Structure 1
Amino acid sequence: MKLAVKIMAMRKQRGWSQEELAQQLSVSRQSVSKWESGASVPDLDKILKMSEIFDVSTDALLKEEMDLNERNTVFEDLQNERMKMEPPDRGNFVNNQNDTQQQFGEDTRNEEIPTHHVSMQEAKDYIEWAKHKAPWIALGTFLCVLSPVWLLLLGGTAEYKVLPITEDMAGGMGIAILLCMVAVAVAIFIIKGTPQERFQFFETQHLIADEEVRAMILEEKQEFALLSRKCVVTGVVLSILSVVPMMLMAAFSMPDIYYIYSLGVLLIFVAIATFFFVWSGTIAGSYRILLEEDDYSLKNKQNSGRRTQISRIYWCSVTAIFLAVSFLTNRWDLTWIIWACAGVLCGTVSAIMSLSRR
């Protein structure tokens, strides 16, 4: 087995991303990427460092005749011997398992996740499918963010007699437009966002790709990186500028109706920014899925079932709290804030869970 394949395999067995391995070796992620694609060979000092990190000998890294199947066989023999020598106590078994994992640089939790070998054509098809669905998913998100604008504008113009309509008419028309836009967005999400059957397991199974396949994915990822950064910069700038009209209204003490107009402008800017975020994020996410990086690393996949259960419990609880507070207070105009707070808190809880796993 070649050195490039061994580095990639041992990194994945420990559930590390390329960035995490690069930090431990004090090199850039691009260097690790080149090593794994076979474009370059690590220096001797880096090979020595990797032997310490993976807890294997330098011969195991450099000797092409040795493969991971041999290591797995030795691992199983050693574990069986320890189980014979010690009583089947769960605490001892876990400790023995951890000791063996440290000795051989291997995480046996990989066995709990099905493995799939990704071919070149399969990787290309998945990337093309992600590029096809990205603008549609971004459009659906754009419509969802933009949907309250007409409700706000019609309600404000009716309240301040800008248009000859009653507040009930304005509310009815605004909600009708909102529901129509959300309905279109949901239809887009279902039709375009549902993965094809052959791609459904990509986010849950352990993906293995040959050097040529990984090199192709890395090349496309690097080519898209510049465009992705431009999209993120554009989205951030629009998000910041979205507040400017409202600040100007306050600075010049404009009539209240202008605050409503500025709020509509804010939502339009945020909707456009969200379009850029979602479009670039969807395409970039396809590369991370194929390379098993960041949120799609092997370690995160191993904990996906637990996260799913916690997420279900969390959002069901939030829904129950929202309905209870809304019905008890009858302040539906204010209780929507619960969802905004719940969304922010969800991100916080997710970050805490990630830190605790480390």
Structure 2
Amino acid sequence: MILADKIIEERKKNGWSQEELANKLGVSRQAVSKWESAGSIPDLQRILQMSELFGVTTDYLLKDEIEEAPLNEYVETNTIKVSMEEANQYLDMKSRGSRVVANATSLCILSPVPLIVLGTMTEDHTLVGFSLVFLLVLVAIAVYLFVNYGLRESHMQHLEKESFETEYGVSGMVRERRDKYEPAFIRNIAIGVVLCILSVIPTIMAGVMEADDSICGLSVGLLLIIVSIGVNILTRTGMIKSSYDTLLQEGEYTKEEKHLKKKTDDFSGAYWCLVVVIYLGWSFSTNNWKMTWIVWPVAGVLYAAVLGIVKMIVGNKDE
């Protein structure tokens, strides 16, 4: 770990912003920012001040090969080193993969549209049967894309699950790319959220106008199409943003969060297997495929809440 990364780590351990650290050292926030991006190196006086503030030795700050003594169970002895080439390869891989995952997700959302629309417009069992086959084909394509992506990118998944250290200059490069992406991230998140909110307008209008079943079916189909576009944008944007967080080990990819995620992976697998069983059981028992798709958005909303409770319980046990 280089000096820039050590300053960032120690500052965050103390819960200080760059401006707060700058005030304690009597320098500008821009100076601290340059130190943390490896754009400049603090003078000896500042090194001594930081040593006292952080409660570490000057040797620890100045010598790359010296690491701080482990403070908790999340620190690992055999730390992976990530080079500049590997970091760029990972970022490019996630950027390409975000399109694959986003498109596969959209296919899942769009898959019931023909079934819903035709189911309300005609009683022809042949057309409804073809729409059901179309639904299964789209889901199969989406599953293929998910599996193919997972296998192709599996050699890099250790960065999302294990602790690692970056070589000199990597963190600065990642922060620079993240800062450039920030305006696009904010814009795309806003567009995706707005589309998801606006998607209910056709359904609301159909209800207000007391439209017949065929119009209601079309409104639900339009809702899903708009949602698929919004979710596509959100998925792409989120994956690219998470790739920067992964390499910087921030947000959901801190060492503590990775440790916690290892303990909740079994729950996640069991949860989604149960959702699949409920969906297929309900669908085949009622043959009401145009309604049972509601299981997925409900399961998605509940997953975030239930996972939060599980993490809380696991975290309390670790304390």
Q: Does 1:290 align with 2:247?
A: yes
C-alpha spacing 1:310/1:32, structure 2 compared with 1 (3 Å)? farther
Aligned letter for 2:36?
E
The corresponding residue for 2:115 is 151
- In the other structure, the counterpart of 2:189 is 232
Contact 1:3-1:61 at 8 Å conserved across structures? no
Mean Cα displacement is larger for which, 147-156 or 309-318?
A: 309-318
| Aligned residues between the structures | 306
- Residue 210 of structure 2 aligns to a residue in which SS? coil
1:325, CA displacement in angstroms? 7.1
Distance 1:40 1:253 in 2: 67
Cα 1:214–1:199 shift into 2, 3 Å: same
Q: How far is the alpha carbon of 1:132 from its aligned partner?
A: 1.6
Task: Describe the shift of the 1:152–1:231 C-alpha distance in structure 2 as closer, same or farther (beyond 3 A).
Answer: same
Question: Tell me, what secondary structure is at the counterpart of 2:246?
Answer: helix
Distance 2:294 2:244 in 1: 35
The offset of 1:6, in angstroms, is 2.3
Q: Which residue of 2 aligns with 1:303?
A: 260
| Deviates most, 301-310 or 312-321 | 312-321
Deviations 1:282-315 (A, max 9, x none): 2112111111111111101112221112223444
Instruction: Write the distance in 1 (CA, Å) between the matches of 2:52 and 2:115.
Output: 62
Higher alpha-carbon Rg: 1
Give TM-score, length-normalised by structure 1. Answer: 0.72
Q: Within the alignment, does 1:125 sit opposite 2:106 as a pair? A: no
**CA distance 1:153–1:30, shift in 2 (3 Å):** farther
Contact map agreement 2:74 2:259 (CA 8 A) in 1: yes
Question: Is contact 1:51-1:61 (8 Å) kept?
Answer: no
Confirm or deny that 1:111 pairs with 2:76.
Answer: yes
- Counterpart-to-counterpart distance in 2, 1:332 and 1:149: 16
Partners in 1 of 2:21 and 2:220 — Cα distance? 47
Q: TM-score, normalised by structure 2?
A: 0.80
Contact in 2 for aligned 1:37/1:211 (Cα 8 Å): no
Cα shift readout 1:306-358 (whole Å, capped 9, x = no counterpart)? 1112223444555566677778xx44536665554433222112223445638
Determine the structure 1 residue equivalent to 2:26: none
| Paired residues for 1:125-274 under 5 Å | 125-159=89-123, 166=124, 168-196=125-153, 198-274=155-231
Residue identity (%): 32
Report the CA distance shift for 1:22/1:30 in structure 2 as closer, same or farther (over 3 A).
Answer: farther
* C-alpha distance 331-179 of structure 1, shift in aligned 2 (>3 A): closer
1:209 CA displacement: 1.1
* Distance in 2 of aligned mates of 1:344 and 1:145: 15
| Alpha-carbon distance change, 173 to 41 in structure 1, aligned in 2, over 3 angstroms | same
Q: 1:338 to 1:136 in 2, by over 3 A?
A: closer
Pick the aligned partner of 1:312 from 269, 276, 289. Answer: 269
Per mean C-alpha deviation after superposition, the further-off stretch among 344-353 and 114-123 is 344-353
Q: In structure 2, what is the Cα distance between the partners aligned to 1:199 and 1:66? A: 25
Between the aligned partners of 2:144 and 2:64, the Cα distance in structure 1 is: 52
Alignment partner, residue 6 of structure 1: 6
**Displacement of 1:260 after TM fit?**
1.0
Partners of 1:11 and 1:133 lie apart in 2 by: 33
Distance 1:31 1:205, change over 3 A: farther
Amino acid at match of 1:143: L
The amino acid that maps onto 1:110 is V
